[in-house]
């Protein structure tokens, strides 16, 4: 049986395979034992027990990894829910990402969804190719799609620099170029302050700039809006942490004017409660 077949078999039916193989071998090795028993010097190994099914959670064996520990380039998937939260006034938000790949190359998806007063205000998805370029930095490029619920959807090209800046600021800087030549720039930074190993305060800020006025999306050129948050989470495990916090949003310049024209407030502070998790 060649290696690939074996691997396939292993993948397809690990339990059956294990049982079958070990059974066969069991008989074989017992014969060996009897045959050689008189030559051996006192090591009464009890009858080898049936290989139990390798279904135990701690025995999980990544199927695509070779058994040579030194050369397995593992491809991993990380799903991060940065924020999944309910906000005051019938609002809510989801911010998260999924990456898949190895050390250098990854496929990277980012999403942001925001709702306020029962309506979806923002829903976007980015699909990026991410490449490690420096010890703490990934260069990312790809596309962003905005799901505009009231008007046409929009597409953007994305160029982003994502990583860890000195003083442990997690930074994501994205430049967007729209199909019609529109431009936008988004700066995001986040910090973690540990009160204990489990109580963690996380301040964060997002700043958006646009290169033009776009009445359909109610965004104006220049500094458009700032969103600042402060969230206190409790890590039951590093992977599962509910939080409470406060979120502050303020619109500036032409964007603020658009809001005022619509009779909307230009700034808003809301309490939030949510979950931070990854796996």
Residues 57-86 that bind another protein (CB under 8 A): 57-62, 65-74, 76, 78
Residue choice 8, 32, 151, 269 for contact with another protein (CB under 8 A)? 32
The torsion angles phi and psi of 12, rounded to 5 degrees, stand at -65, -45
Q: Which of residues 88-117 bind another protein (CB under 8 A)?
A: 103-104
If one asks whether residue 135 binds another protein (CB under 8 A), the answer comes out as yes
Interface characters, 39-58, with another protein (x: CB under 8 A): xxxxx-xx-xx-xxxx-xxx
Contacts with another protein, 248-267, as mask; x by CB under 8 A: --------------------
- The CA distance from 217 to 203, in Å, is 28
Residue 71 to residue 216: CA distance in whole angstroms: 53
Please identify, among the stretches 29-37, 120-128, 175-183, 262-270, the one whose residues bind another protein according to the rule CB under 8 A.
29-37
Minimum separation from the CB atom of position 73 to another protein (A): 6
Assess contact for 54 and 75: CB atoms under 8 A.
no
Q: How far is the CB of 69 from another protein (least distance, A)?
A: 5
Residue reference for tokens 């980012």? 110
Strands 91-101 and 105-116: antiparallel
Across-strand partners of 138? 132, 162
CB 275 to another protein: min, Å:
15
Binding status of residue 5 toward another protein by CB under 8 A:
no
Shortest distance, CB of residue 263 to another protein, whole angstroms? Answer: 43
The smaller minimum CB distance to another protein, of residues 53 and 149, is found at 53
Supply the angle between the helices 14-36 and 3-12 in degrees, to the nearest 10.
Answer: 120
CB 74 within 8 A of CB 62: yes
Residue 14 in contact with another protein, rule: CB under 8 A: yes
Contacts with another protein in 183-222 (CB under 8 A)? 193-198
Please, what sign has the CA dihedral across residues 168, 104, 174, 274?
Answer: negative
Distance CA 152, CA 146 (A): 9
10 binds another protein (CB under 8 A): yes
Considering only residues 221 to 250 of the shown chain, the ones binding another protein according to CB under 8 A are 236-238
Nearer to another protein, 23 or 260 (CB): 23
- Written as six digits, the tokens of 248 are 């502050």
Q: Is 12 in the site for another protein (CB under 8 A)?
A: no
Q: Which is nearer to another protein, 170 or 268 (CB)?
A: 170
**Residue 47 CB, nearest approach to another protein (Å):** 10
Q: What is the DSSP string of 183-221?
A: EEEEEEEE--EESSSSEEEEEEEEEEEESS-BGGGTB-S
């Amino acid at each position: 049986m060649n290696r690939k077949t074996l691997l396939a078999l292993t993948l397809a039916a690990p339990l059956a395979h294990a049982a079958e193989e070990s059974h066969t071998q069991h008989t074989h090795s017992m014969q060996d034992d009897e045959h050689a028993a008189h030559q051996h010097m006192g090591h009464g190994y009890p009858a080898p027990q049936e290989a139990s099914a390798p279904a135990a959670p701690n025995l999980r064996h990544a199927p695509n990894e070779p058994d040579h520990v030194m050369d397995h380039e593992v491809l991993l998937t990380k799903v991060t829910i940065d924020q999944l939260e309910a906000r005051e006034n019938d609002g809510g938000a989801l911010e998260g990402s999924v990456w898949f790949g190895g050390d250098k190359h990854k496929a990277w998806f980012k999403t942001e969804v925001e709702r306020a007063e029962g309506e979806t205000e923002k829903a976007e998805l980015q699909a990026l190719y991410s490449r490690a370029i420096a010890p703490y930095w990934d260069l990312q490029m790809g596309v962003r799609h905005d799901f505009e619920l009231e008007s046409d959807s929009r597409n953007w090209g994305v160029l982003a620099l994502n990583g860890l800046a000195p003083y442990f600021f997690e930074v994501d800087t994205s430049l967007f170029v729209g199909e019609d030549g529109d431009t936008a720039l988004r700066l995001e930074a986040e910090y973690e302050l540990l009160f204990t190993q489990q109580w963690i305060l996380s301040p964060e800020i997002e700043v958006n700039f646009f290169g033009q006025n776009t009445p359909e999306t109610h965004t104006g050129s220049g500094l458009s809006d700032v969103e600042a948050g402060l969230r206190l989470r409790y890590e039951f495990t590093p992977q599962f942490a509910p939080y409470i916090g406060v979120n502050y949003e303020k619109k500036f310049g032409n964007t603020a004017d658009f809001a005022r024209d619509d009779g909307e407030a230009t700034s808003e502070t809301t309490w939030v409660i949510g979950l931070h998790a990854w796996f």
